[in-house]
Amino acid sequence: MKYRKIPDETVRRLPVYLRGLQYLLDQGKKSVSSIELAEILHVGATQIRKDFSYFGDFGTRGVGYNVGTLIRQIRAILKLSGTRGAALVGVGNLGTALLSYPGFGTYGLEIVVVFDNDPTKIGKQIGGARIEGIEKISELKKRGIKLAIIAVPAEEAQSVADKLVAAGVNGILNFAPHFLSAPKKVKVITIDIAMELGRLPYYI
């Protein structure tokens, strides 16, 4: 395969493929064609083949793709090999929900540190971690944690993000309904739940 720039959209779809493949693996499937995968995921079969082709020749012509191999390949592309520790900031309802959310594992992520600014919460044990004060964020660098999840109210989101960036975090998943400013080298993904709901009525 010749080199070509990988479309952002392709990267966005890789985790989708990964989920579908994991599902097939759980079903005991060894091999899958782009057509079968397309049906499960509601994506075009050509799309799938083209996406994979950016990274190399993963399939066998006339046969399809080996499920296990493909999962490993995609995990490698997404740099999900091994487990990465992530910090969670904010232990309200949403934060608590995230702590018990299954599925981070598939993506090689584990919440290992938890912060909150509520004195009544600090020190409490939750999931596998102890809740620490917001000021301890500065110690993330020392602990080698590079990913963080923001689940605090909108007003505090930017200030938390600044602290995280200062502590050397380079990837942030933001659930606060607020636009975050961060240096270019820091990748921020915002999930605004209400905003997704907002476009639902349009399509109805």
Partner DNA sequence: ACATGTGAAGGTATTCACAGCG
Partner DNA sequence: CGCTGTGAATACCTTCACATGT
Which helix (H) or strand (E) covers residue 87, if one does? strand 84-89
Chain residues that interact with its own copies, rule: CB under 8 A = 11-12, 14-16, 18-20, 40-42, 77-80, 84, 86, 92-94, 96-104, 106-109, 146-147, 149, 153-154, 170-171, 173, 177, 179, 187, 189, 191-204
Distance CA 109, CA 75 (A): 12
Least distance in angstroms from the C-beta of 140 to its own copies: 15
Alpha carbon 149 to its chain's center = 10
By beta-carbon proximity to its own copies, the closer residue of 3 and 203 is 203
Q: From the list DNA, its own copies, none, pick the one residue 5 interacts with, judged by a Cβ distance below 5 to 8 Å according to partner type.
A: DNA
Q: From the list its own copies, DNA, none, pick the one residue 55 interacts with, judged by a Cβ distance below 5 to 8 Å according to partner type.
A: none
CA-nearest of 144, 151, 175, 148 to 163 is: 148
By beta-carbon proximity to its own copies, the closer residue of 68 and 168 is 168
Q: From the list DNA, its own copies, none, pick the one residue 53 interacts with, judged by a Cβ distance below 5 to 8 Å according to partner type.
A: DNA
CA-nearest of 30, 26, 14 to 68 is: 30
Chain residues that interact with DNA, rule: CB under 7 A = 1-2, 5, 7-10, 33-35, 44-47, 49-50, 52-53, 57-65
Backbone angles phi, psi at 87, to 5 degrees: -105, 140
User: What residue ranges in 102-154 does DSSP mark as E strands?
Assistant: 109-116, 125-126, 129-133, 147-150
